[in-house]
Amino acid sequence: MILAYMDESGEAHYGKTMHSRPHFLRSCVLVRENQLGSVEAAVRKLCGTFPMCSKTGKRCRFHATDMFWGTGDWTEHKADIDMTIGALVGMFPIIRDHNLSITFGHIRKPQIHNQYSRPLSPAVLTFVQCGHIVESWMQTHASDQRWLPCVGSSQHDKEVLEAFHQCRKLGSPVRRRIKYERACDAISFTSPVNSEIFLISDLCAFVFSRKQQGKDDWTLKLYEALSPHIWRPWTFKPR
């Protein structure tokens, strides 16, 4: 079995902030079942090196946005770039050493909102996108196996679940009714608290989001480090 860990970046709705925050993205990290133990152990080892948060009395959590900006658990360590950014970069050897494949789905909300009178939510659209890309990866790398989506929990769980079953049984709502042929008959909703591997998807969502928004800073180096692992990437055209 292949497990597909998916995390979101952006606001998963069409509303007043749609034009000021137009981008929505979902990252997807593919892990083979026989890799789970090794990858989880590597992530736990990395997180065990993080500093303590005096506010919570617990070790700082891996959260790419907080680590980059020095917020949340990492507020008191903001000035220590080697600690905050070093902890962020520490995830990359895990991706490289396990040769993990990564993909993503993304949309510009104003474009979707203008094109359709009743558009699917950003959470559903990007989930369906990722599913189709995973299906193409399976054809090349694991044609005799099935994949299980492990999706970050949100208020859109019911919609995502319904879209998943529709893609399996009836066909995609966005790709000429093409079905998910290699998907399992179940879906898992998870979170960073319950899944070490989900933290890798959190990192990827952050890096891809920065790239998508056209941020011209050192995070481009992070994207370059991920590039060899991206399955069928397309060119970002930030607007």
pLDDT digits (tens, 9 = 90+) for 149-193: 999 888 889 999 999 999 999 998 888 889 999 999 999 998 888
Per-residue pLDDT band for 27 (boundaries 50, 70, 90) equals: very high
| pLDDT average, residue stretch 44-70 | 93
The secondary structure of 5-26, three-state, reads EEEEECCCCCCCCCCCCCEEEE
**What percent of the chain has pLDDT above 90?**
68
Provide the mean pLDDT of the chain.
91
β-sheet bridge partners, residue 102:
29, 230
Q: What is the model's pLDDT at position 234? A: 60
DSSP-derived secondary structure letter, 122: H
Q: How many CA atoms lie within 13 A of 63 on its CB side?
A: 17
Return the pLDDT at 213.
86
Rounded-to-integer distance, Cα 119 and Cα 109, Å = 10
**38 phi/psi in degrees, rounded to 5:** -65, -45
Helix (H, G, I), strand (E, B) or coil at 216: coil
Among residues 186, 191, 204, the alpha carbon closest in space to that of 29 is found at: 204
Place of tokens 């152990």: 41
Q: Which residues contact 54 (CB under 8 A, 6 or more apart)?
A: 76
Q: What six digits make up the tokens of 151?
A: 């999706």
Q: What is the mean pLDDT of residues 12-26?
A: 88
| Residue 115 clears pLDDT 60, i.e. is over it | yes
CA distance 102 to 233: 9
- Look at residue 85 and give its three-state secondary structure: helix
For residue 170, give both structure tokens: 């009836």
d(CA 22, CA 213): 9
Which residues are CB-neighbours of 181 under 8 A, at least 6 positions away? 135
Q: How confident is the model at residue 76, as a pLDDT?
A: 94
Provide the whole-model pTM.
Answer: 0.92
Given pLDDT bands bounded at 50, 70 and 90, which one contains residue 111? confident
**Alpha-carbon separation of residue 62 from 8, 9, 34, 59 (angstroms):** 15, 15, 24, 9
State how far the Cα of 116 lies from the Cα of 124, in Å rounded to an integer: 15
Section 47-54 average pLDDT: 93
Residue 203: other Cβ atoms inside 10 A: 26
Cβ neighbours for 14, distance < 8 A, ≥ 6 positions apart: 109, 112, 113, 119, 121, 122
pLDDT, position 174: 82
Q: Which residue has the higher pLDDT, 128 or 232?
A: 128
Which two tokens mark 232? 């069928």
Alpha carbon distance 5, 14 (integer Å): 25
**For 189-235, what is each residue's pLDDT tens digit?**
988 888 999 999 999 999 999 988 888 888 889 999 999 999 876 65
